[in-house]
Amino acid sequence: MDVTADIPGMIIRVKVKPGDEVKAGDALFVMEAMKMEMEVPAPGKGRVAAVHVKENEVVQAGQVLAVLH
């Protein structure tokens, strides 16, 4: 299951790494957009298979940030 950015912004904190177990609603990333910080939650339960972004990286809406299995 892909975790994507809802809006463009900058990743300011990566809170998970590959292999981490997460449940629905867990914060995976903290993103800054329009001068506000928001958490990017896990859409469901799973294990983090890959993280495709790093801190201070600018992302676009729809960009895949991580993959859960």
pLDDT value of position 26? 98
Give CA–CA dist 23/44, Å, rounded: 6
DSSP 35-65: TEEEEEE-SSSEEEEEE---TT-EE-TT-EE
Q: Is the CB of residue 43 less than 8 Å from the CB of residue 49?
A: no
pLDDT value of position 24? 97
pLDDT value of position 65? 98
**Tens digit of pLDDT per residue, the chain (69 long)?**
999 999 999 999 999 999 999 999 999 999 999 899 999 999 999 999 999 999 999 999 999 999 999
pLDDT value of position 6? 95
Does 2-60 carry CATH code 3.30.750.210? no
